């Protein structure tokens, strides 16, 4: 009988706890435990699963709920069954929960470079360098896990109780030595904020100078600015950082602040500071957070028209972010986030199985916002609608009506598709 069996059903990755199956597997393997790992489980396979003493089932995304309900019902009753991943969702489903303790997480993120070859889906959404001027497969690596920022929309700090598991500088550099020995030169650091401690970041980057790595990192605007002010941008370049992902979310000052971000002036300053360097800033955005309007979407579109990318500069998979008409991730209301009940009351849910790359929640602020001006569609506009497989020619809008009225007039089309059309149209200035 197998001592343990990890079951995971891959969805689009958002980092952090989405990597928990790989972290748990790596920690258990490093500790000498034996077991099997099913990454792409579907309910048709349930009779094929071997008998095990313990089953660990990953649940961190809403589309996984039904498969997890089936597993909880049909896995052998004389075995121990645990669910892990996003704890508030697991508790909401009243499933037996296993919370990864900090020491296990630390072991997992420290060791899992050794187990890349065991995984089929570890790359998830982190498989390319984002910008087409760079090439090659990219591998994920943590130097820390968790976050203490507590942004209103984000489940990460909720799931880790605002605690951050941190590898020492020596442990990080040893992981990079392993990557080098295996030939992994393109690395996506999947920390929520690599620059949370700029002195630590400085020491790590000093150790990577001249090693030939190509790095993608994530940082918040205030920590990246603090690092650049203290150490300059040359170290970023010398250590191999090609791109820094920064959570702009919205370029509307009021909405940016409501999300718990750091003030639009800081994002503008960072954009200008980094303009003359070889380090690219990749702006992450969010659509349909409560407070979103036609006008706030236009503000974000104008920011990205100036500081973002053209479609040809990006790999197709990533074209929804950091572009004028790309809507980034859609606001997804996770159980347990700060102000959950207030957020739920601020809009209309249109899906019980939300994912980040499809609209699942439309805020009242957007539904009630008025179209003031409409311009004719141009041929160049088509590229933005094609990303989302939306045909703009089947919609009709006019000045003076609200988003809600447009949706009501297009009842033969799903709310999500109509809202997506209107959001794109707002971003690129078809409607204002």
What DSSP string runs through 289-312? -TT--HHHHHHHHHHHHHHS--GG
**Amino acid 2: pLDDT:** 65
**Amino acid 410: pLDDT:** 96
Q: Does 108 reside within a domain?
A: no
Both 33 and 173 in one domain: the answer is no
Domain count, the chain: 2
The C-alpha atoms of residue 240 and residue 400 are separated, in whole angstroms, by 51
Q: Does 25 reside within a domain?
A: yes
Both 146 and 60 in one domain: the answer is no
Both 17 and 165 in one domain: the answer is no
Domain boundary at 103, 138, 153, which? 103
The C-alpha atoms of residue 225 and residue 268 are separated, in whole angstroms, by 11
Both 93 and 50 in one domain: the answer is yes
Domain boundary at 69, 103, 137, which? 103
Interior CA angle at 70 toward 158 and 15, to 5°? 30
Interior CA angle at 104 toward 64 and 33, to 5°? 85
Q: Does 120 reside within a domain?
A: no
Candidates 403, 399, 400; CA nearest to 423 is: 403
The C-alpha atoms of residue 233 and residue 75 are separated, in whole angstroms, by 53
**Amino acid 251: pLDDT:** 97
Domain boundary at 72, 103, 134, which? 103
Q: Would the CA dihedral through 366, 369, 370, 375 be positive or negative?
A: negative
Both 281 and 342 in one domain: the answer is yes
Q: In this structure, what is the dihedral angle of CA atoms 95, 154, 299, 408, given to the nearest 10 degrees?
A: 20
Q: Does 110 reside within a domain?
A: no
Both 57 and 170 in one domain: the answer is no
The C-alpha atoms of residue 345 and residue 347 are separated, in whole angstroms, by 6
Candidates 419, 348, 366; CA nearest to 390 is: 419
3-state SS, residue 110: helix
Q: What count of other Cβ atoms lies within 10 Å of the Cβ of residue 227? A: 23
The pair of three-digit structure tokens given for residue 239, joined into one six-digit string: 């250590």
Both 248 and 160 in one domain: the answer is yes
Under DSSP, the state recorded for 100 is: P
What CATH number corresponds to the domain at position 419? 3.80.30.20
Residues in CB range of 48: below 8 A, 6 or more apart: none
Q: Does 296 reside within a domain?
A: yes
Per-residue pLDDT of the chain (432 residues), as tens digits, is: 567 777 776 666 667 898 999 999 999 999 999 888 888 888 888 888 999 999 999 999 999 999 999 999 999 999 999 999 999 999 999 999 999 999 999 999 999 899 988 888 765 556 889 999 999 999 999 999 999 887 777 899 899 888 999 999 999 999 999 999 999 999 999 999 999 999 999 999 999 999 999 999 999 999 999 999 999 999 999 999 999 999 999 999 999 998 888 789 999 999 999 998 999 999 999 999 999 999 999 999 999 999 999 999 999 888 999 999 999 999 999 999 989 999 999 999 999 999 888 999 999 999 999 999 999 999 999 999 999 999 999 999 999 999 999 999 999 999 999 999 999 999 999 999
Both 211 and 355 in one domain: the answer is yes
Yes or no: say if 25 and 76 are a contact pair by the CB < 8 Å rule: no
Q: Does 279 reside within a domain?
A: yes
**Amino acid 264: pLDDT:** 92
Both 226 and 169 in one domain: the answer is yes
**Amino acid 150: pLDDT:** 77
Both 97 and 133 in one domain: the answer is no
Q: Does 54 reside within a domain?
A: yes
Query: Which residues sit opposite 59 in a β-bridge?
Result: 85
Both 91 and 132 in one domain: the answer is no
Yes or no: say if 207 and 169 are a contact pair by the CB < 8 Å rule: yes
Both 154 and 71 in one domain: the answer is no
The pair of three-digit structure tokens given for residue 50, joined into one six-digit string: 């071997």
Under DSSP, the state recorded for 322 is: S
Which uninterrupted H or E stretch holds 235? helix 234-239
Q: Does 115 reside within a domain?
A: no
The pTM for the full model equals: 0.94
Q: Which domain holds residue 31?
A: 5-103
């Amino acid at each position: 009988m197998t001592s343990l069996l990890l079951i995971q059903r891959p969805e689009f990755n958002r980092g952090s706890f989405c990597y928990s199956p790989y972290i748990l597997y790596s920690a258990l393997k490093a500790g000498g435990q034996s077991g099997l790992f099913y990454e792409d489980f579907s309910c048709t396979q349930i009779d094929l699963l071997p008998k095990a003493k313990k089953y660990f089932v990953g649940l961190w995304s809403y589309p996984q709920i039904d498969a997890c309900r089936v597993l909880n019902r049909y896995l052998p009753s004389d075995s121990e069954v645990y669910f892990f991943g996003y704890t508030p969702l697991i508790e909401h489903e009243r499933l037996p929960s296993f919370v990864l303790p900090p020491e296990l997480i630390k072991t997992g993120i420290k060791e899992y470079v050794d187990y890349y070859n065991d995984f089929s889906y570890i790359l998830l959404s982190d498989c390319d360098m984002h910008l087409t001027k760079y090439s090659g497969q990219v591998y994920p690596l943590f130097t820390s896990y968790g976050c203490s920022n507590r942004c209103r929309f984000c489940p990460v700090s909720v799931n880790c109780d605002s605690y951050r598991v941190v590898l020492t500088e020596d442990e990080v550099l040893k992981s990079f030595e392993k990557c080098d020995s295996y030939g992994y030169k393109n690395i996506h650091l999947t920390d929520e904020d690599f620059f949370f401690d700029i002195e630590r970041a400085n020491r790590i980057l000093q150790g990577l100078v001249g090693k030939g790595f190509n790095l993608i990192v994530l940082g918040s605007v205030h920590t990246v600015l603090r690092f650049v002010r203290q150490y300059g941008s040359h170290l970023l370049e010398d250590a191999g950082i090609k791109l820094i992902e920064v959570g702009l979310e919205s370029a509307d000052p009021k909405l940016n602040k409501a999300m718990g971000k750091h003030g639009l002036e800081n994002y503008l300053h960072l954009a200008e500071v980094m303009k003359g360097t070889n380090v690219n800033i990749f702006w992450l955005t969010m659509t349909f957070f409560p407070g979103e309007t036609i006008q706030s979407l236009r503000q974000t579109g104008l920011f990205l028209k100036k500081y973002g990318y053209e479609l040809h500069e990006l790999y197709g998979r990533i074209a929804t972010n950091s572009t004028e008409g790309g809507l980034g991730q859609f606001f997804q209301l996770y159980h347990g986030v700060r102000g959950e009940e207030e957020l739920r009351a601020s809009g209309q849910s249109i899906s019980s199985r939300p994912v980040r790359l499809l609209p699942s929640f439309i805020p009242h602020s957007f539904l009630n916002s008025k179209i003031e001006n409409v311009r004719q569609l141009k041929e160049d506009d088509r590229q933005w609608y094609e990303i989302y497989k939306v045909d703009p020619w089947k919609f009709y809008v006019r000045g003076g009506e609200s988003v809600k009225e447009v949706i009501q007039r297009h009842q033969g089309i799903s709310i999500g598709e109509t809202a997506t059309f209107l959001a794109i149209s707002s971003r690129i200035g078809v409607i204002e």
